[in-house]
Structure 1
Amino acid sequence: MKFLCAILLGFLFASLPVMGLCPSGAVTALAVEEGERVIVVLKDGSEVIGEVIEESGEKISVKSVFGVTSIEMSRVESIIRGAEVSRREFEQRQKRAIRRGSAAGWHSLGRWALERGLQDKATNSFQKALEIDPEHEPSKIALGWGKVEGQWKTPEEAEGLVNKGWRRDGVNLLPPRAGAPAVPKQPEPKKPDIVRPVPDPSSGGRISTPEGLIGKLSPQEQKRRERELERRRKDREKFEDKKRREYEGVPWPHRSVIKSRNWQIECNSTPEVARTYQWIMEALSATLGKIFKSPDVRSQKPVVKIYRNHDEFMLKTGMGGGVGGFYQPNSQNVVAYHGTFGLTGTTYTVLAHEGTHAFQGKKLARMGNYPNWFIEGMAVYFGDGSKLDYKKKKLVTGLIPRDRLFHIQEKIVEGRHTQLSKLGGLPRNRFSGTHYADSWSVMHFLINGPESKKGQRFLVDYWRMGEKRRVGQRQFNELAKKYFGDVDDMEEAWQEYVLELKPDPAGEVDGDRFSSMDFMFSITRSDAKWQYVLDEIQDRDLVLMRIPDTRNEIRVRILSKSEDSQRPQDWVDSELLPALRKKYRDVRSFSGELGGLDAYVFEFYDRPPEPEKSAEETDGEKDSETEEDQQSGLPVGISPQQDPGGTDAEEKDEPEAIPDPLKHRSYVLVGVSNAYELRGSFEEKEFNTLLSDLEWVAFSFEKILRNRW
């Protein structure tokens, strides 16, 4: 069986100095400058695309989205330059857009082509986006569409209006100002306008957002904040220096080799890092061995190769930038690299997932005997659903990964999940990314559910069945009948259990401060009137604070980018702003800071509720009484279970008051694969009063600088 499971991950914040490999194998820091864009074709057939930072007879250093890579000229087959680079890079990006199949992907490709003067390719890309989503606003704007009083005008119609003196304001076309001459203008694709804030003289020339109160702080408070920012800067420098040493490590021939009871660890980061990965893998084996106690069928110890940084991993393995690690079934080896990925991903999450597959390969003579719900369900359970207790040097399992939980809960509610009567025998060629959530939830139900003893025996029996023959839906149903009545009863118990699950808290509250080690940030409330609420967390929420008995809230959320290679501004223009405009009104955008780091700032209002139906619209409803209503002898619209009470108009209940729309301010800190969002949602009449509280929280936001294994 050919089995390769790669975890797709991405770096979030490029906070560390960019590193490259020099000919000797040592890592050196390189000065990053804009340069010629090239494709370096290596003799092994792989390619590196990026900007030339340094080039000599001995090596070439290229800056890509993942950092700077230095390559010895002896390994280079050829270097492609000029227009051919843009053409070939467009083809590669076009393939990604085709695979994604989304309007946002094609729009991002169009923006990329437009910036490089590929007008025809850009136009075709925007048109492809509209074929997928005819209402994709950024693509319509790019092609010259515009709105007049909420109605779309074609590019030709918009051009005619512009020629008559109309002007563009983002997506909207506005009529000429009174007395303004009609000056013909040529329409051109234009991204949504950004409202630029005005420098506040009281804040030393720094940008302050409209209605902000930062510039009104006392001199003492401003000095305190400046000292705090300086402390953070120094802490970042210390942390970056430590990480730099880890990423420099040593050349691979001088790597640390540690042979432990179940694994052989090979790592060319620091010896401390290598020892840490050694106990992590042993802790994983101990945890898995408590449930699955079968003897080893292979005597060889799997080798876990961990390269010192991402660049070396790509160069040594030939893997692309989105792969964090993989398992090799033939050799039983696991390959990864030292680093952190996204907001919560680490080398540990790769090792836990791929190490589970290595454990399976060591214990199971034929992994192909088992369907994917079992193989991948285990890997997700012990990968996504576990974390390290560094002090006790053990794994904590049974955790609830919020993305998997919300995904499966949504599918169950909407009836889109794969029923257990089908999941147990789902063929490998029909098992897709959406089934990981189903498989994880079944595994969690069996190991941690209300009848966990039965569930764990179910898994052990299933494991043993597969040691002798191929198992599938029939064996799944047999065990469901043995331990849960039948597969339908098991389905009912599983659904009930999953729908009642809540995600594990993202962090802990200590006085005024909330800290999340999983998501690596902390915030501080402005005063005690704000109370932390951790039991009402929604899909993307990490923490919520609220003033009791009001609708005023402040929350931190996680936002996801559809593509790691998207630049922050492209993602904001093509995905975030359209989503905000669709849900809210009067969306404005500013420059700002979150925790002393450059951030996007948005203000917007809730849309007013839909107006109630008029009397004419409800006339038809009065005539739609059912035969049952007529036979009951009750007034139309009142069921037999209702007490008709008084039917006079004077006794009708007063309609409930519709709450006023809220006003929001949002700070968004964008990285490569995800973004933090700090959002304040306030009653409009209290917005200016509470804005200082939100700005306090925004200033207090701090990325936690610690090693995440």
Structure 2
Amino acid sequence: MLRPLFLLLILSLLAAPVVAWPAVGSPSGQTPLYSLDVGERVIVVLKGGDEVIGEVVEETPDKISVKSAFGVTSIEMNRVDVVIRGEEVDRREYSQRHKRAIRRGSASGWYSLAKWALGRGLEQQAHDAFEKTLEIDPEHEAARIALGWGQVDGQWKTPEEAEALIARGWGRDGKRLIPPRENSRTPPRNPSPKPTEPKPDVVKPGRPTIPESVTRRLDPQDQRRREEQLERRRKEREKFDENKRKEYEGVPWSSRSTLPAPNWVIECNSTPEVARTYRWIMEALHATLSKMFKSPDVRSQKPIVKIYRNHDEFMLKTGMGAGVGGFYQPTSQNVSAYHGTFGLTGTTFTVLAHEGTHAFQGKKMTRMGNYPNWFIEGMAVYFGDGSKLDYKKKKLVSGLIPRDRLFHIQEKIREGTHTPLSKLGGLPRNRFGGSQYADSWAVMHFLFKGPETRKGHRFLVEYWRMGEKRRIGQRQFNNLAQKYYKDVDQMEADWKEYVLSLNAPPAGEVKDSRFNSLDFMFSIERPGPNWEFALDEIQDRDLVLMKIPGTRNEIRVRILTKAEDGQRPQDWIDSVALPDLRKKYTDVRTLKGDLGGLDAFLFEFVDKPPATKEESKEEGATDGDEPSEGTPGSRQFSAVQTQQEGPEGDGDGNGDGEAKDAEQKPPAPAPRKHRSYILVGISNAYELRGSFEMDQFASLLPDLEWVAFSFEKIQRNRW
């Protein structure tokens, strides 16, 4: 009996995972160390039960510094219960994300979980999450593709059917299954027992260097000046980062600054200077809102605005997830946020302006629940996304046009996917989703800033007063539309015409040979006199465009959006950027490089050749619609058209048959070759892209490298 028991004991010891690493004593007798490696991914479990997940930056006898996607958190050793290391980190993090996906209950939540698990090598968990995505949304295209589904003549084939076709010599191009006659060079493959996504390329950002093409264009004196400029930038970044580090370290919440103001109470545990800045920002917001909505306060209590020193502490204290920047609590009237930037362009100010508008509504409205979401959220977006700070005058400038909201609603109106005003005015809260924020902002902007502002202002004032007495909805909206715009259909027609006529404000200004953008915090230099800035030709995601007149050669800077704020740059590149580039282009290659001395991802790719008539017909039969909003990488890397390409068709609106189309339709443009530098942030990414004629790519590449070298990230505080 002893032998089986002994073996059982040994096996149980071998099987038990060691997840918590005990501390080892330091030679000086100080607080023990965990012997953590810099860059190691760990979970620091605090004695209160909270957890911090991230990469080790530093370990001293007094503290552990952990870097997450949102900054560095320093944790005193006396608060640490245990440190979890190894594979258990991924398992714990998966468990947290799994619970979050269950709470959200949406297809996008499960799809995000699947992509994260796939990136961590948790293939079975990823497969299960993809399956769950399809349970909720059977038409979720990306999940189908990930599980091995494919389309033939517009009809989906199961993974088993798709693998059987591939074994018979068929090929795959995204969701399309290509028959052998079009895939003759593709040898048959043995069916795989379990379809999985191909492993992404390993793309590592390069180190800052001066390109050889740049040094050749500089004389020795200029080269020394450029090297000094690079060194100056490096020192400025280090100084700026050191100041930001102090702001993010701040003080414990128990030692926070508490600053009463006429209309708010500010609590902040960053530096005292930061706390004072947020005090005048919130007062400026209140002053702007009070000019437009003069109703008396129905609550005398001052809202408390809690601003935590960094995002990790915000998550620890509030229990919010990584994608939340702040929130308003209707019961207490308080606002919570954190000090820090969001991605490449977002700020704490935009969150405070949005949530602070809700707090203002809570003070002024007898019952916020009386108003539909288009009114509540439309106002918050109008003053949140559509405002900026005048630091000199310490005031808020409102009524601006947020680029993302404008491009989103314009695209929806053109495609007929916007929410009609005859429904938006009474849309229930449980049916109001993220897509309706752009619609609501556009209605609010139309009423505030449209061609008939007096009518719009009266509409808003009456609507506000109606909600003071009773719950209002679509009927009240329609009545006011009839009073001021003839009827709701006419109001919608006027609204759509106005919204489609709006142009996004310039992202910056040209001064001599440089383009400077304070809003997007970057600057670039024109490579030579043969290049001209063409700011009036920018497309929806463009921030700046340069062209050689009379050619299709272009250099542009664009802003891209990440669906998940907490996603690491490499994970986003692997799961979104690279797959989408391969879908839109051919000959995609990964290189190494930097953008203005900052680590960047570098790609080269070529336009796909024009499709033949037969291929075009098959594309129309099998490709279906473009990915919907929210699909990772949906339209961000689509081929950028130039004016020379022109629209399809003859332009006269008459369909006189294929012969006339073939005769009058301009020839398809020749493919161009592109190089793309991508600098990834938390929620956004910069893309510097050069698009050149194939035979001119090599000769124009030095111009692009010059622009990449000249790229400068403007270092200044963003509130």
Aligned residue number for residue 684 of structure 2:
674
Aligned residue number for residue 448 of structure 1:
449
Give the structure-1-normalised TM-score: 0.77
Alignment of 1:476-491 (within 5 A): 476-491=477-492
Determine if contact 1:258/1:266 at 8 Å carries over to the other structure.
yes
Aligned residue number for residue 583 of structure 1:
584
Aligned residue number for residue 718 of structure 2:
708
Question: What displacement does 1:532 show?
Answer: 1.4
Give the secondary-structure state (helix, strand or coil) at the position aligned to 2:537: coil
Rounded to whole Å, the distance in 2 between the matches of 1:402 and 1:383 is 13
Aligned residue number for residue 107 of structure 2:
101
Question: What displacement does 1:71 show?
Answer: 4.4
Question: What displacement does 1:386 show?
Answer: 0.6
Rounded to whole Å, the distance in 1 between the matches of 2:236 and 2:353 is 30
Rounded to whole Å, the distance in 2 between the matches of 1:136 and 1:469 is 45
Rounded to whole Å, the distance in 1 between the matches of 2:612 and 2:263 is 67
Rounded to whole Å, the distance in 2 between the matches of 1:319 and 1:242 is 26
- Sort the Cα spacing of 1:685 and 1:36 in 2 relative to 1 into closer, same or farther, 3 A: closer
Rounded to whole Å, the distance in 2 between the matches of 1:39 and 1:173 is 55
Aligned residue number for residue 38 of structure 1:
43
Question: What displacement does 1:290 show?
Answer: 1.5
Q: 2:431 matched to 1:423? A: no
- Sort the Cα spacing of 1:573 and 1:246 in 2 relative to 1 into closer, same or farther, 3 A: closer
Aligned residue number for residue 226 of structure 1:
227
Alignment of 1:420-569 (within 5 A): 420-569=421-570
Q: 2:76 matched to 1:66? A: no
- Sort the Cα spacing of 1:686 and 1:363 in 2 relative to 1 into closer, same or farther, 3 A: same
Letter in 2 for 1:686: Q
Give the structure-2-normalised TM-score: 0.76
Rounded to whole Å, the distance in 1 between the matches of 2:142 and 2:471 is 48
Q: 2:414 matched to 1:413? A: yes
Moved more, 521-530 or 82-91: 82-91
Rounded to whole Å, the distance in 1 between the matches of 2:43 and 2:395 is 46
Match of 1:664 among 661, 667, 674: 674
**5+ long unaligned stretches in structure 1:** 1-29, 143-151, 162-171, 177-186, 200-204, 618-637
Aligned residue number for residue 272 of structure 2:
271
Letter in 2 for 1:261: P
Aligned residue number for residue 378 of structure 1:
379
Determine if contact 2:268/2:275 at 8 Å carries over to the other structure.
yes
Determine if contact 1:534/1:543 at 8 Å carries over to the other structure.
yes
Rounded to whole Å, the distance in 1 between the matches of 2:184 and 2:130 is 20
Rounded to whole Å, the distance in 2 between the matches of 1:459 and 1:516 is 34
Determine if contact 1:109/1:125 at 8 Å carries over to the other structure.
no
- Sort the Cα spacing of 1:654 and 1:469 in 2 relative to 1 into closer, same or farther, 3 A: closer
Aligned residue number for residue 121 of structure 1:
125
- Sort the Cα spacing of 1:125 and 1:113 in 2 relative to 1 into closer, same or farther, 3 A: farther
- Sort the Cα spacing of 1:400 and 1:666 in 2 relative to 1 into closer, same or farther, 3 A: same
Moved more, 327-336 or 432-441: 327-336
Q: 2:701 matched to 1:691? A: yes
Determine if contact 1:50/1:62 at 8 Å carries over to the other structure.
yes
Rounded to whole Å, the distance in 2 between the matches of 1:444 and 1:190 is 46
Question: What displacement does 1:480 show?
Answer: 0.9
Determine if contact 2:310/2:340 at 8 Å carries over to the other structure.
yes
> Alignment identity in percent?
65
- Sort the Cα spacing of 1:156 and 1:83 in 2 relative to 1 into closer, same or farther, 3 A: farther
Rounded to whole Å, the distance in 2 between the matches of 1:567 and 1:236 is 21
Question: What displacement does 1:300 show?
Answer: 2.1
Q: 2:213 matched to 1:213? A: yes
Moved more, 247-256 or 399-408: 247-256
Aligned residue number for residue 262 of structure 1:
263
Letter in 2 for 1:598: D
Give the secondary-structure state (helix, strand or coil) at the position aligned to 2:609: coil
Letter in 2 for 1:213: S
Rounded to whole Å, the distance in 2 between the matches of 1:538 and 1:371 is 33
Moved more, 514-523 or 83-92: 83-92
Rounded to whole Å, the distance in 2 between the matches of 1:690 and 1:137 is 41
- Sort the Cα spacing of 1:188 and 1:160 in 2 relative to 1 into closer, same or farther, 3 A: farther
Question: What displacement does 1:488 show?
Answer: 1.2
Determine if contact 1:141/1:190 at 8 Å carries over to the other structure.
no
Rounded to whole Å, the distance in 1 between the matches of 2:664 and 2:196 is 53
Give the secondary-structure state (helix, strand or coil) at the position aligned to 1:345: coil
Aligned residue number for residue 633 of structure 2:
none
Aligned residue number for residue 281 of structure 2:
280
Letter in 1 for 2:469: K
Determine if contact 1:605/1:662 at 8 Å carries over to the other structure.
yes
Number of residue pairs the alignment of both structures matches? 614
- Sort the Cα spacing of 1:519 and 1:138 in 2 relative to 1 into closer, same or farther, 3 A: farther
Question: What displacement does 1:107 show?
Answer: 5.2
Give the secondary-structure state (helix, strand or coil) at the position aligned to 1:545: strand
Rounded to whole Å, the distance in 2 between the matches of 1:546 and 1:36 is 45
Rounded to whole Å, the distance in 2 between the matches of 1:175 and 1:417 is 43
Q: Deviations over 1:161-192 (max 9, x none)?
A: 9xxxxxxxxxx99999xxxxxxxxxx997535
- Sort the Cα spacing of 1:571 and 1:208 in 2 relative to 1 into closer, same or farther, 3 A: farther
Rounded to whole Å, the distance in 2 between the matches of 1:484 and 1:546 is 44
Determine if contact 1:129/1:139 at 8 Å carries over to the other structure.
no
Moved more, 546-555 or 312-321: 312-321
Letter in 2 for 1:89: E
Match of 1:191 among 195, 199, 206: 199
Question: What displacement does 1:105 show?
Answer: 2.9
Q: Deviations over 1:329-386 (max 9, x none)?
A: 2222222222211122111111100110111111112111111111111000000011
Moved more, 411-420 or 120-129: 120-129
Letter in 2 for 1:663: K
Q: 2:302 matched to 1:294? A: no
Determine if contact 1:195/1:588 at 8 Å carries over to the other structure.
no
Q: Deviations over 1:240-298 (max 9, x none)?
A: 23223333434444433333322222223333322222221121111111111111112
Q: Deviations over 1:660-698 (max 9, x none)?
A: 211111111122322110001111122122111111111
Determine if contact 1:194/1:590 at 8 Å carries over to the other structure.
no
- Sort the Cα spacing of 1:488 and 1:586 in 2 relative to 1 into closer, same or farther, 3 A: same
Give the secondary-structure state (helix, strand or coil) at the position aligned to 1:316: helix
Give the secondary-structure state (helix, strand or coil) at the position aligned to 2:247: helix
Q: Deviations over 1:280-328 (max 9, x none)?
A: 1121111111111111112222222222333333333333333222212
Give the secondary-structure state (helix, strand or coil) at the position aligned to 2:536: coil
Rounded to whole Å, the distance in 1 between the matches of 2:88 and 2:655 is 79
Letter in 2 for 1:339: G
Determine if contact 1:90/1:113 at 8 Å carries over to the other structure.
no
- Sort the Cα spacing of 1:598 and 1:70 in 2 relative to 1 into closer, same or farther, 3 A: closer
- Sort the Cα spacing of 1:207 and 1:195 in 2 relative to 1 into closer, same or farther, 3 A: farther
Letter in 2 for 1:678: L
Give the secondary-structure state (helix, strand or coil) at the position aligned to 1:336: strand
- Sort the Cα spacing of 1:333 and 1:90 in 2 relative to 1 into closer, same or farther, 3 A: closer
Give the secondary-structure state (helix, strand or coil) at the position aligned to 2:549: coil
Rounded to whole Å, the distance in 1 between the matches of 2:257 and 2:466 is 40
Q: 2:48 matched to 1:47? A: no
Letter in 2 for 1:553: E
Rounded to whole Å, the distance in 2 between the matches of 1:189 and 1:302 is 50
Aligned residue number for residue 599 of structure 1:
600
- Sort the Cα spacing of 1:50 and 1:160 in 2 relative to 1 into closer, same or farther, 3 A: farther
Q: Deviations over 1:435-482 (max 9, x none)?
A: 111110000000000001110111011111111111111111111111
Give the secondary-structure state (helix, strand or coil) at the position aligned to 1:340: coil
Match of 2:94 among 80, 90, 95: 90
Determine if contact 1:404/1:437 at 8 Å carries over to the other structure.
yes
Q: 2:576 matched to 1:572? A: no
Give the secondary-structure state (helix, strand or coil) at the position aligned to 1:432: coil
Determine if contact 1:552/1:682 at 8 Å carries over to the other structure.
yes
Determine if contact 1:386/1:397 at 8 Å carries over to the other structure.
yes
